[in-house]
Amino acid sequence: MERDTAFEMAASAIRFGSGITAEVGMDAADMALQRVLVVTDANLAELEPVARVRQSLEDAGVVHDLYTGVRVEPTDASFKDAIRVATEGQYDGYIAVGGGSSMDTAKAANLYSSHPPADFLDYVNAPIGKGLPVPGPVKPLIAIPTTAGTGSETTGVAIFDLVQMQVKTGIAHRRLKPTLGLIDPDNTKTLPPAVAASTGLDVLSHALESYTAIAFDQRPRPERPILRPSYQGANPISDLWALEALGMMARHLPRAVADPEDDEARGQMLLAAAFAGIGFGNAGVHLPHGMSYPVAGMVRSYMPPGYGADHPMVPHGNAVIVNAPAVFRFTGCANPQRHLRAAAVLGADVSAAKEADAGRILADVIIDFMRRLDAPNGLHALGYTSADIPALVQGTLPQHRVTKLSPRPAAAEELTALFADAMCYW
């Protein structure tokens, strides 16, 4: 195999500041957008962030329609509904308001209405879909996050549940990146503490996974530059964003969860999410995310606190973090120095640490954050038992886009042991 010798840095333009949601109408007008679709969910549609967006568009003379059909933790069916509306509406731009679910739904609607494929799975990541590259530019998309977790305002990734297979998968391409991300701390003031904790723990895992992923020059060289994946492996630029995001998360997430009125902490967590997004959007994530997809897709009865969900679901941050301690215990031996440095940034004392203990030390500091933030205590807390492990393994194996970035390979035998280790931590 000829290995790659290059990596490519790509990220959305981002703007940060209190109150900047009110600027979105001027941004849309400056982009010469005349008719846009505002994409959000039914709960957010009644709240202040969406009201500010709509008022700003009206003030700027930009005609808009409101789509409120976003499903928290989207499915292929909910994506297809948004795609139908976007296709019929022939909009010249999109504005997503919400968490990763809204932003990812807007990305899918934009892509499929701009470049309709022969089959829905054509753009979906291989081997579940064909993983075809996006053939050309899409319409402008402005993303306005209301949660501090996914970093979707910076990335070209859209994740959804493929219901028939009971697994999460996604679409990934640089052309899906939002044109502009407006990061406004005012939009997270009403975020329930349980949601702030789950989304913040997603930031933690994003940064850890991108920093510990295989190096970019350990991947195969693509035949053409357009085929170089967005998830390229760890590289010198993504490392900077990941480490800074880790430090910001460690300092501010406990504060943001404890006190919704702590404006500084909430704002810094929004920045941390964007920083981690820039990091993993170019380096990728690995096993905690790959394992999270069946954890979320196979949910039976778990109803998360704080989300107001009307259907069983495992929030993405929870689905990821329950796997993380087990994974980093497993991968520590592959690159001990990176695991120890990450643990140190998170507050662990590694001055006398041995390399053989790197994975355990990093796992312990993750578990400490989980306990402080009242995260689910492993898979068992989400309703899974050892009898579910074979199905969880089978749901993880097809997630090549992320699992192949693990610094230590994990086939079915290793995944079985990892899911067993992730059942309960304390």
Indicate which CATH number applies to the domain containing 327.
1.20.1090.10
The yes-or-no verdict on residue 166 having pLDDT over 80 is no
Shared domain check, 152 and 238: no
- Within 10 angstroms of residue 346's Cβ, the number of other Cβ atoms is 20
Percentage of the residues of the chain whose pLDDT score is greater than 70: 100
Name the average pLDDT for the chain: 95
Helices (H) then strands (E): counts for the chain: 15, 8
Is the pLDDT assigned to residue 327 strictly greater than 90?
Answer: yes
Tokens of 87: 């296709």
Count up the domains in the chain and report the number. Answer: 2
Residue 73 pLDDT: 87
In whole angstroms, give the CA distance from residue 252 to residue 199: 13
Inform me whether the pLDDT recorded for 251 exceeds 80. Answer: yes
- Residue 310: the pLDDT is 81
Return the bridge partners of 351, or none.
none
Residues 248 and 336 in one domain: yes
pLDDT digits (tens, 9 = 90+) for 217-246: 999 999 998 888 889 999 999 999 999 999
Q: Is 35 helix (H, G, I), strand (E, B) or coil?
A: strand
pLDDT at 391: 96
Q: Is pLDDT at 311 greater than 90 in this prediction?
A: no
Per-residue pLDDT tens for 72-99? 889 999 999 999 999 999 999 999 999 9
The confidence band for 123, taking pLDDT boundaries of 50, 70 and 90, is very high
Chain centroid, CA 105 distance in Å: 13
Q: Is 426 within the bounds of a domain?
A: no
Q: What is the pLDDT of residue 189?
A: 83
Per-residue pLDDT, averaged over 396-406, amounts to 93
Angle between helices 358-372 and 324-331 (to 10 degrees): 170
How many Å apart are CA 197 and CA 317, to the nearest integer?
Answer: 8
167: left (phi over 0), alpha (psi -120 to 50) or beta: beta
Q: Is the same domain home to 253 and 176? A: no
- Which pLDDT value is given to residue 167? 78
CB atoms within 10 A of CB 247: 16
Mind listing the pLDDT tens digit for each residue in 168-193? 889 999 899 999 999 999 998 888 89
Please check whether residues 167 and 197 belong to one and the same domain: no
Q: Provide CB contacts within 8 A for 399, sequence distance 6+.
A: 167, 169, 289, 290, 293
0.85 exceeded by pTM:
yes
Residues 174 and 259 in one domain: no
The average pLDDT across 111-129 equals 95
Residue 260, pLDDT above cutoff 80: yes
CA distances from 155 to 12, 31, 181, 281, 306 (A): 7, 20, 10, 5, 26
What whole-number percentage of the chain has pLDDT above 90? 88
Structural domain span for residue 148: 19-183
Q: List, for residues 369-383, the tens digit of each pLDDT value.
A: 999 999 999 999 999
Predicted local confidence at residue 226, as pLDDT? 83
- Is the confidence at residue 111, as pLDDT, over 90? yes
**What secondary structure does DSSP assign to 149-216, as a single string?**
S--GGG-SEEEEEEGGGTEEEEEE-GGGS-SEEEE-GGGGTT--HHHHHHHHHHHHHHHHHHHHSPBG
Instruction: Kindly indicate the confidence band of residue 286, based on its pLDDT and cuts at 50, 70 and 90.
Output: very high
Supply 61's token pair. Answer: 């003379």
Inter-residue contact 109 to 85 (CB < 8 Å): yes
CB 160 within 8 A of CB 170: yes
Query: Nearest-CA neighbor of 407 among 212, 143, 150?
Result: 212
For residue 242, give both structure tokens: 């990941």
pLDDT for res 117: 97
Last residue of a domain, one of 161, 183, 205: 183
Which one of 122, 153, 183 terminates a domain?
Answer: 183
At 102 the pLDDT is: 97
For residues 169 and 51, membership in a common domain is answered with yes
Angle between helices 324-331 and 287-297 (to 10 degrees): 150
133 domain-assigned: yes
Examine the domain organization and report whether 102 and 216 are in the same domain: no
**132 and 163 share one domain:** yes
CATH number for 77: 3.40.50.1970
- Residue 384, pLDDT score: 98
Looking at the structure, do residues 308 and 290 belong to the same domain, yes or no?
A: yes
pLDDT band at 253 (very low <50, low <70, confident <90, very high): very high
Give the DSSP H/E element, type plus range, for residue 252. Answer: helix 236-258
Query: Looking at the structure, do residues 355 and 383 belong to the same domain, yes or no?
Result: yes
- Residue 360 located in a structural domain: yes
Confidence of residue 366 (pLDDT cuts 50, 70, 90): very high
Q: Is residue 8 part of a domain?
A: no
Residue 155 is assigned to a structural domain of this protein = yes
Model confidence at 336, in pLDDT bands (50, 70, 90)?
Answer: very high
| Domain final position from 160, 183, 206 | 183
